[in-house]
Amino acid sequence: MTRRIALLTSGGDAPGMNAAIRAVVLAAQHYQAEIYGFYHGYNGLLNNEFTLLTQADVQGIIHRGGTILKSARCQEMRDEQGVKQAVNVLLKNKIDALIVIGGDGSFNGLIAISKQWQGQVIGIPGTIDNDIDGTDFTIGFSTAVNTGIEAIDKIRDTADAFDRVFLVELMGRHSGHITFNVGVSCAAEQILSFENFQAKDEKKLLNKIAKQITDAQQKRHSSYLIVIAENLWPGGSQALANNLKQLTGIDCPLCTLGYIQRGGSPVAKDRLLATKMGVAAVQAINNGQSNMMIGEQNNSMLLVALSTAIQHQKQVSQTLVEAQENIFALTEKN
């Protein structure tokens, strides 16, 4: 009897989701299983909105951003009634296993379903935030970092031309992985993230940055770039920009990159990661695994319990944080 596997993409989109969809479909074909793609995340599952995915459907999508299955957030999945409805749809369509590509919210939905359904559930980490435990990287993170670098390099050109100060806000929700990787790669004079900022130090840090900006403008006649994580500064990043202008008398425009970081064609690293994870997800189902997420550590694929993957214990590399601090300390001395 042919096995039926349901597949959906949930939450924020991430470059490489299409590559993962392609890998799942082709791997399923190898194992003689059928893939039922549900549209618009868990909403499509609740509404029984799906299509049978074939090799023809996934040709030419590995390089495309977004997701051909669309995505969405689903408030109903936070309620027991919504979970029961999802389970009923899975039973109605005689689904044997469910694969979800998404982040921690999506995995919470999987865990809820697993408590009321006997089928297998497997998660594939697809989020630009890189805030999922048990895997070195998540699908979309590398592309988001590259997109941030390209944008800030252009901002730096203008900053250097006029010796300007700019404040750039990056996405990440409550994770500093994008901020630190982009900031270090762009040689930002200041990186503000959850790993090196506490609200109680706000006033002291404001005065410190203000002095550095003044020195850069008046003594070195150079640009000054601040990279900040979203949801970090009390009152928002614009409040920081306003405070710095009040202290220095120097304009500090805020550039919020926003959703540009979630779009675009995935870089090679994300295409490769997504392909490996998609294949591994189907293999896990074929091997009888359930309640697991596909992860990669030290270039090796592994299975991580979904309950472990959503703990938010993964931190930005301390080596990266220290590298920025040491480079910045050297700049201050000079």
Nearest to 249 by CA among 314, 313, 165: 165
Judge whether 140 and 15 are in contact, CB under 8 Å: yes
Predicted pLDDT of residue 329: 63
Please, what is the Cα angle at 321 between 178 and 276, to 5 degrees? 45
User: Does residue 129 carry a catalytic annotation?
Assistant: yes
Predicted pLDDT of residue 247: 94
Predicted pLDDT of residue 173: 87
Predicted pLDDT of residue 223: 94
Predicted pLDDT of residue 199: 79
Token pair 């074929």 is found at: 286
What's the distance, Cα to Cα, between the start and end of the chain in Å?
72
Predicted pLDDT of residue 236: 96
Between CA 39 and CA 6 the distance in angstroms is 11
To which H or E segment does residue 125 belong?
A: strand 120-125
Between CA 274 and CA 66 the distance in angstroms is 13
**pLDDT tens series, the chain, 334 aa:** 789 999 999 999 999 999 999 999 999 999 999 999 999 999 999 999 999 999 999 999 999 999 999 999 999 999 999 999 999 999 999 999 999 999 999 999 999 999 999 999 999 999 999 999 999 999 999 999 999 999 999 999 999 999 999 999 999 988 999 999 999 999 999 999 998 888 788 899 999 999 999 988 888 789 999 999 999 999 999 999 999 999 999 999 999 999 999 999 999 999 999 999 999 999 999 999 999 999 999 999 999 999 999 999 999 999 988 888 888 764 555 5
Predicted pLDDT of residue 1: 73
Q: Residue 249 corresponds to which amino acid?
A: G
Judge whether 233 and 239 are in contact, CB under 8 Å: yes
| Catalytic residue of the set 104, 129, 131, 270 | 129
Under DSSP, is residue 217 helix (H, G, I), strand (E, B) or coil?
helix
- Kindly give the pairing relationship between strand 254-256 and strand 190-192: unpaired
Predicted pLDDT of residue 333: 53
